[in-house]
Amino acid sequence: GKGKGKGAAASGAPAAEGDAEAESKEDAPGDSESGSESEDDEFKPDPAFGAKWEPVFGDKIEVQVKDEGWEGSWYAAEVRKVRGARAHVRYADLMEEYDSRKHLESWVDSSDLRPQPHEAKPSDFERKLAVGAPVQFQLNDGWWEVRVVSVKKGRAGFTVGSHLYAERHETTVAKLRPDWEWHGNHWVEGSSRKRFDKKGEVLEGLALPRRVKKDDSDDEIKAEAEAA
């Protein structure tokens, strides 16, 4: 159902901050820890591709939800207001917990926003899906960062999972998309490291390999693949 997260700890919709709290944070932008100063070096824009994207009123965007049980998820939304390093957004598919007719709205750090990725998948996306490949999986009205755990014969289906959650999901390619990374003014496809502009046109050169933090996901995926 709408507003429900993937993880076992998730309950209801992500917490929405009150306007009063948001206004107080906006009045002192210098106190915020978000924004370009704390931006991960991996995701800095490339000057060759133009100015860094900044959200403005009316932008169709995705929000990285970081509440417990929602880690690794992206949800479509629209920017309603921007104040300093924070933005007020209205989610496209998440509804208020106590009023299912009303779209959830909240204040979020602008650093947790990105444009909505182009819908077209690279022509070789399905052919290159393999065990261990990073992808994004459509679930509960959002897109979740996962890895391919197994591939059925003839690519009739895929099992995906994340080290953040104990769950595994059977799915088809229709509910998978590339592991899109937003680098400030261009997209990077997680597996191939190819770069794309906002419209989906391929850009010159490849991005550097991503620095992956050590976790147990690769070992778990290898073990499951060997047992399959």
pLDDT tens column, 123-166: 889 998 999 999 999 999 999 999 999 999 888 899 999 989 98
Mean pLDDT of 177-187: 96
Percentage of residues of the chain with pLDDT beyond 70: 75
**Is the pLDDT score of 191 beyond 80?**
yes
The predicted model scores a pTM of 0.79
Stronger pLDDT, 26 or 76, i.e. the higher one:
76
Exposure string for 183-196, b = 16+ CB within 10 A, e = fewer: bbbbbbbbbbebbb
The pLDDT score that the predictor gives to residue 214 is 45
**Is the pLDDT score of 18 beyond 60?**
no
Q: Do the Cβ atoms of 157 and 171 come closer than 8 Å?
A: yes
The pLDDT score that the predictor gives to residue 102 is 94
Q: Do the Cβ atoms of 191 and 111 come closer than 8 Å?
A: no
The pLDDT score that the predictor gives to residue 226 is 57
Instruction: Choose the weakest-confidence range: 73-77, 163-167, 179-183.
Output: 163-167
pLDDT digits (tens, 9 = 90+) for 21-69: 444 444 333 333 444 344 466 788 999 999 999 999 999 999 999 999 9
Q: Collapsing DSSP states into helix, strand and coil, what is residue 25?
A: helix
DSSP letter assigned to residue 21: H
Q: Collapsing DSSP states into helix, strand and coil, what is residue 155?
A: helix
